[in-house]
């Protein structure tokens, strides 16, 4: 890697490029324009490097070009003449149209990139005005032309980290939409250390976002095994519902030089990874951060052809335990999963009179000794909410039977702007407690299954590990959700009663 082109240089350079077009379009959208162009720059520089190697092999550049024209398989991705950076950079008029044609020509030549870099029309207008002008596009291309991004110019991990930095910066300006594509990097690192992937493992994320959780598992694996990582590498699988986010994930995976199968589609309605008999494919590890408290109609659960919701149907007010059951059904017999969810997922319904579907599903997981750990995270880590989240670890092959480790990491953070963050020391401390199964005063506690039963299956770490005097007050949102669930149960009971009365001939 050339002297000076380190991670900080790359980050500053790419962010400067992003800032060139920031004023023209809304913050949530400008990532859709700059990320494909950065991707094209990487593709073009890698292609140039491969073409140079071929010219040395075949004794000249013109000969290499002729041979490559006949056999595109000699390079990883073939770039048509108009899509090569030197030609894009030379173009001065009608740049939006030219750039759109260029990325579409790349997608035509390389089917795996279809729907990835060719989604954006750089010539698009709104209310008769160009969304991004040719002048801004030209300025962006000039900034991106300062450094080369070829194989011999920058390490994939360094480029990938710079790209992840860009995603974080985009998340900062994206408000509620940030949660659709970005999990804070330090949370993803913590989850990767908890899952601790081993050689040959297959890793799955059913709501992949921009691919960060899979990438952090890849980096943790590389860190753990070093040169031996290539002996039996990890295999990665992901599914994402939003086309724009799917495109980011595919680009992110490529820039990290990873092999992964990322599919576009609705995981809850139609899982992409199935066996020939139609059953779900099973994986060694599952890592995910689904949208919290999604609302799905009951038909999703009641008419499920994949036999996923055997522990009970979640209420329509929150799909948290629907997602957990999908992931659980996607695990091999000795598999493990880590999922980030709203804090209410481990406590809603506990301690209340009457029926609670979430509590009953949680009860089934506790009774079957499947929940290994719950980690409460600090407030204000996530970009689409100030609320704390938590990580639930479910393990089909628990080493400590009938025990659950609860970690209250709510105070293990650093203040940041605009968000708090977990520093390396906090990540190390939390993962050490989990991996070594330790109790630490004011941080963690190991409870038995009997204690969980005694507390009506409430697994909130703050209930067992107090960092300060806390009042156990039900959040308004949770109270409203419980009320809605009770109303649904009453409606079901009424319908059942009416059916019974009708069968007895007591209904007019």
Tell me the per-residue pLDDT of 417-443, one tens digit each, with 9 for 90 and over. 888 999 999 999 999 999 999 999 999
* DSSP E strands, 113-186: 125-126, 129-130
Asked if residue 469 lies in contact with residue 442, where contact means CB atoms within 8 angstroms, the answer is no
Whether the CB-CB separation of 287 and 311 falls below 8 Å is answered with no
Distances (CA, A) of 42 to 30, 31, 144, 145: 19, 16, 10, 11
Q: Report d(CA 247, CA 295) in Å as an integer.
A: 25
Higher-confidence residue of 383 and 427: namely 427
- Expressed in angstroms, the distance from the first to the final Cα of the chain is 83
- Decide which of 501 and 349 is more confident: 349
Task: Look at residue 209 and tell me whether its pLDDT is greater than 80.
Answer: yes
Structural domains in the chain, CATH included, are 7-154 (1.20.1260.30), 175-399+412-436 (3.40.50.150)
The answer, yes or no, to whether residue 473 has pLDDT greater than 60, is no
Q: How confident is the model at residue 337 (pLDDT cuts 50, 70, 90)?
A: very high
Average pLDDT, the chain: 89
| Cα dihedral: 229, 232, 233, 234 (round 10) | -120
- Give the pLDDT mean for 157-175: 83
Q: Per-residue pLDDT for 227 more than 90?
A: no
Confidence (pLDDT) at 472? 47
As a whole number, mean pLDDT of residues 202-215 equals 96
| 468 pLDDT tier (thresholds 50, 70, 90) | low
pTM of the model: 0.86
User: What separation in angstroms does the CA of 403 have from each of 80, 186, 314, 396, 441?
Assistant: 59, 27, 25, 13, 18
Q: Give the pLDDT band (50/70/90) at residue 481.
A: low
- Predicted pLDDT at 24: 54
Write out pLDDT tens, residues 97-127.
999 999 999 999 999 999 999 999 999 888 8
């Amino acid at each position: 890697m050339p002297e000076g082109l380190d991670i900080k240089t790359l980050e500053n350079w790419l962010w400067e490029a992003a800032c060139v077009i920031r004023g023209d379009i809304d913050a949530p959208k400008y990532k859709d324009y700059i990320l494909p162009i950065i991707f094209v720059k990487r593709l073009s520089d890698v292609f140039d490097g491969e073409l140079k190697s071929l010219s040395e092999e075949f004794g000249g550049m013109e000969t290499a070009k002729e041979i490559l024209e006949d056999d595109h398989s000699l390079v990883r991705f073939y770039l048509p003449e108009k899509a090569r950076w030197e030609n894009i950079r030379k173009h001065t008029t009608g740049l939006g149209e030219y750039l759109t044609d260029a990325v579409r020509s790349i997608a035509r030549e390389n089917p795996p990139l279809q729907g990835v870099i060719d989604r954006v029309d750089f010539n698009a207008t709104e209310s008769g005005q160009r969304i991004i002008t040719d002048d801004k596009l030209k300025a962006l291309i000039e900034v991106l032309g300062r450094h080369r991004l070829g194989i011999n110019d920058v390490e994939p991990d360094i480029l990938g980290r710079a790209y992840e930095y860009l995603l974080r910066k985009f998340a900062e300006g994206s408000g509620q939409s940030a949660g659709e594509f970005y999990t804070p990097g330090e949370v993803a690192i913590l989850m990767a250390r908890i899952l601790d992937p081993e050689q040959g493992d297959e890793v799955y994320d059913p709501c992949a976002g921009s691919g960060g959780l899979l990438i952090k598992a890849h980096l943790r694996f590389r860190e753990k095994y070093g040169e031996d990582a290539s002996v039996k590498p990890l295999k990665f699988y992901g599914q994402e519902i939003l086309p724009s986010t799917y495109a980011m994930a595919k680009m992110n995976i490529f820039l990290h030089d990873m092999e992964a199968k990322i599919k576009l589609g609705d995981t809850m309605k139609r899982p992409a990874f199935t066996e020939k008999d139609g059953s779900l494919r099973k994986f060694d590890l599952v890592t995910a951060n689904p949208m919290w408290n999604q609302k799905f109609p009951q038909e999703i659960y009641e008419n499920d052809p994949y036999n996923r919701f055997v522990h009970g149907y979640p209420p329509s007010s929150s799909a948290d335990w629907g997602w957990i059951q999908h992931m659980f059904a996607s695990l091999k017999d000795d598999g493990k999963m880590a999922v980030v969810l709203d804090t209410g997922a481990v406590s809603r319904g506990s301690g209340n009179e009457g029926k609670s579907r979430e509590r009953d599903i949680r009860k089934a997981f506790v009774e079957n000794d499947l929940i290994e750990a719950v980690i409460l995270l600090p407030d204000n880590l996530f970009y689409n909410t100030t609320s704390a989240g938590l990580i639930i670890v479910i393990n089909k092959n628990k080493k400590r039977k009938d025990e659950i480790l609860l970690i209250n990491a709510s105070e293990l953070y650093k203040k940041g702007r605009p968000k708090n963050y977990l520093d390396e020391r906090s990540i190390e401390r939390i993962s050490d407690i989990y991996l070594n199964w330790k109790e630490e005063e004011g941080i963690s506690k190991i409870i038995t299954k009997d204690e969980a039963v005694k507390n009506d299956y409430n697994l909130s770490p703050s209930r067992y590990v107090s960092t300060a005097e806390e009042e156990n007050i039900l959040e308004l949102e949770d109270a409203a959700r419980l009320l809605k669930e009770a109303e649904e149960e009453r409606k079901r009971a009424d319908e059942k009663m009416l059916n019974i009365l009708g069968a007895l001939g007591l209904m007019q």
